[in-house]
Structure formats: C-alpha cells, structure tokens
Structure 1
C-alpha cells in the first residue's frame, strides 16, 4: 500500500515562518552586552504557522 504523507504546515504570511525575533534596544549595558528583547509575530503568536482558512472562519469539519 502507498504511504500517505502529511501535508506541509502552512507558513504564516505575516512573518514567513520567522515567528520570533530579537530586537535591539540600542546601546549596551555596563557589562558591554547588547540589550535585546524577544518579539513574537502578532498574527501567529510565535508558532510560525497559520491556521487553515476553514479553521479561521469557524467552519465545521
């Protein structure tokens, strides 16, 4: 029998799969380390994948 492969996950169109990034705040602390914060994509909440259109619209399976 043929083996079925699962479909590839849908990549988030807002972040192209790069869901979490480090953003510099500008400047360094007194130890010389670069100050950064972690920011997540607001569309996919840091997962990198987007829901299918049916799931977003609340369609029944």
Structure 2
C-alpha cells in the first residue's frame, strides 16, 4: 500500500525541471554537441515554488 509523503510545492512554470540543456546545432572538434544551460526564471533553478509569505516579503 503506497504511503503518502509530504511533497514540496513544485514550481508551476517548470514543473520541477528547473534546468534544461538546449543544443545549438553546432558540434565541438571532438564531436560533442554545443549546448546552453537555461535556468527557470521563476524559481531560479530550485524547482520549488516560493511560498506566498516569502513572495510578499520580496525574497
């Protein structure tokens, strides 16, 4: 029987996947692809939503 666990509030903008790698289409000399790491601007890469109290305080 599954147990209920306390889950953190997931960021609704990135759905808990705060950092993504996007390939640019070019390759390095060793054959690997050049990629950009993009961080979610809403949660700043944490993957969790801020509580309303912290958002009001300006954190």
User: Normalised by the shorter chain, which TM-score bucket?
Assistant: 0.7 to 0.9
Name 1:40's counterpart in structure 2.
39
Structure number with larger C-alpha Rg: 1
Q: Distance between the aligned counterparts of 2:32 and 2:6, measured in 1? A: 42
Please report the TM-score for the alignment, with normalisation by the length of structure 2: 0.77
Which sections of structure 2, spanning at least 5 residues, go unmatched?
A: none
- 4+ long deviations beyond 3 Å: none
- Structure 1 position 23 matched with structure 2 position 12: no
Unmatched tracts of structure 1, length 5 or more: 1-5
Pairwise CA RMSD of aligned residues?
1.5
Alpha-carbon distance in 1 for matches of 2:50, 2:56: 10
